[in-house]
A and B are shown apart, each in its own frame.
Chain A
Amino acid sequence: MACPEFEDLILDYCEGTASPADSALLESHIAACGGCRAYLAQQQELDLRLSKSLTRPSLSPAFDARLAARIAAERRAPRLRWLPRILDGIGYLSLASAAGYLIQQLPHAGAWVGLAALAGSAAFGFWETGKALRATYGHRW
């Protein structure tokens, strides 16, 4: 069991980020502390295993060709990325018109039911549009 106040210093030491003064302090401590010596050995072994196990992966040689093909396909595709948003807008305008008509019909009981249904539809629509916008353009915010 390592001394809690030395645990992070041992990890810094293994990562090569401990200052010379801290390194000297640790080295004099581990000379007298079996627990910290064992912990240092355990962390050094773990560090070695991680270095051997987590080697840099390589992209497949076809990566650039695949990307070029996707970009070429994108260039050929018609620019309709905003079409779904435009359709959403038309849908919301329709909802607003229907809501305006139903408000004129108040206090007829059916109008309240209709307004409640419209509010539910609008809330669901906003939720779904928000999700789609976050998924598509989230990286800009």
Chain B
Amino acid sequence: MDSVSGNQAFERLLDEYRDKVFRLACSLLGDEAAAEDAAQEVFLKVWQALPSFRGESSISTWIYAIARNTCLTRRRIVAGRRTFSLDEANAAEIPSHDPPAASGTDLRGAIGRLPAKYAQVLVLFYLEDRSYQQVAVALGLPMGTVKTYLHRAKKELALLLAAQNTRKESAIPWPALNSKI
């Protein structure tokens, strides 16, 4: 592949996959700024490796595999840093990265409390216009697994939100508490 046709091929890939890779990164990393950085890294790797792409898999499978590996490596690095800081300092002084328990009916907070594999499928399903097929291709999972994870995510999410509502309703409001003193 000469330089000009290589650049044109890369630009076509960038046009087609830029947003898809970004959405996948959003679902895997849960943060738009981190997802954008990851998408940059993914396309840099694609640009570097495109001349040696032999077409053993489809181009979308190849790009999504690079994207998944890049995001998972970034997550491992972040998790490693977090573990290191917890080892180094008094854990009680480190603010928790988990969503706060008192997030009320905050939907995103509840999604953050789901097991990661369920949350990723759930988020990507809605970001990809409710397409099982697109989620399956992006995450490299069979369609049946996508559907199973999605249903488990929704069942757990309904339970979490119901529990949050119950906690809120059973909490004694401040005026009532004050009147008892």
Q: A43-B158, A139-B69, A139-B70 are in contact. Are A57 and B48 (CB under 8 A)?
A: no
- Which of A42, A50, A51, A138 contacts B73 (CB under 8 A)? A138
By the criterion CB–CB under 8 Å, are A54 and B65 in contact?
no
Within 8 A of B (CB), among A36-67: 42-43, 46, 49-51, 53-54, 56-57, 59-60, 63-64, 66-67
Given contacts A66-B40, A67-B43, contact A57 B157 (CB under 8 A): no
By beta carbon, the residue of chain A nearest B161 is A46
Q: Is the CB of B122 within 8 A of A50?
A: yes
14 A-B residue contacts at CB 8 Å? A8-B151, A43-B154, A50-B107, A51-B126, A57-B26, A57-B127, A59-B18, A59-B19, A59-B39, A70-B44, A71-B47, A74-B44, A139-B65, A139-B68
Residues of B within 8 A of A (CB): 14, 18-19, 22-23, 26, 32, 35-36, 39-40, 43-45, 47-49, 62, 65-66, 68-70, 73, 107-108, 122-123, 126-127, 130, 132, 150-151, 154-155, 157-158, 161-162
- Residues from chain B with Cβ under 8 Å of A56 in the complex: 19, 23, 127
Whether A31 is near chain B, meaning CB under 8 Å from some CB there, is no
A71 & B44 in contact (Cβ 8 Å cutoff): yes
Residue A11 interfacial (CB < 8 Å): yes
Q: A59-B36, A64-B14, A139-B62 are in contact. List 12 more A-B contacts (CB 8 A).
A: A7-B155, A11-B154, A11-B155, A42-B158, A42-B162, A50-B126, A56-B19, A63-B18, A67-B44, A135-B73, A139-B65, A139-B70
Measured in the bound complex, the distance between the Cα atoms of B26 and A138 in whole Å is: 21
Nearest Cβ distance between residue A85 and chain B, in whole angstroms?
Answer: 16
Q: Are B44 and A54 in contact (CB under 8 A)?
A: no
Contact of B158 among A46, A57, A64, A135 (CB under 8 A): A46
* Nearest neighbor of B68 in chain A, beta-carbon distance: A139
* A interface, size bucket: 20 to 34
- Decide: A54 and B45 in contact? CB cutoff 8 A: no
Task: Determine which of B19, B36, B123, B130 lies in contact with A60 in the assembled complex, contact meaning CB atoms within 8 Å.
Answer: B36
CB B154 to nearest CB in A, in angstroms, measures: 6
Instruction: Point out the residues of chain B lying under 8 angstroms from A66, CB to CB.
Output: 40
**Cα–Cα distance between A66 and B18 once the two chains are bound (Å):** 13
| Alpha-carbon gap, A93 to B26, bound state (A) | 44
